[in-house]
Amino acid sequence: GQQVMQIPQYQHVQEGEDFTTYCNSSTTLSNIQWYKQRPGGHPVFLIQLVKSGEVKKQKRLTFQFGEAKKNSSLHITATQTTDVGTYFCAEDNFNKFYFGSGTKLNVKP
């Protein structure tokens, strides 16, 4: 099946620093979704990107889909302690969703 590789596995930042997680695939992705999972919680949908080169913003979060639709990134500007959690990318490939392994973000106040 499809595989989406996600890096880094962990990221520790000081509050106020920026954070980026990357999702890469060796094949063209039909679309990419991003989810956030708080410690002990369940994944919560953040956004879906479909078009080549697409950029979407949600307050301090910026999501990008690569021109070749083989990679995507999530960038958080000026992290806050409420950003703590694990961020996952996922591809929807003909009804089958393939998740990356996630990037665990820890924010030190």
Partner 1 sequence: NAGVTQTPKFQVLKTGQSMTLQCAQDMNHEYMSWYRQDPGMGLRLIHYSVGAGITDQGEVPNGYNVSRSTTEDFPLRLLSAAPSQTSVYFCASSYSSRGGEQYFGPGTRLTVT
Residue among 1 and 109 whose Cβ is closer to partner 1? 1
Shortest separation between residue 39's beta carbon and partner 1, angstroms: 12
Shortest separation between residue 80's beta carbon and partner 1, angstroms: 23
CB 18 within 8 A of CB 5: no
Shortest separation between residue 64's beta carbon and partner 1, angstroms: 18
β-strands 96-99, 85-93 pairing: antiparallel
Per CB under 8 A, residues contacting partner 1 are 1, 6, 9, 30-31, 33, 35, 41-45, 48, 50, 88, 90, 92, 95-102
Measure Cα distances from 82 to 38, 49, 85, 105 in Å.
Answer: 9, 24, 8, 10
Residue among 36 and 64 whose Cβ is closer to partner 1? 36
CA pair distance 63, 103, nearest whole angstrom: 15
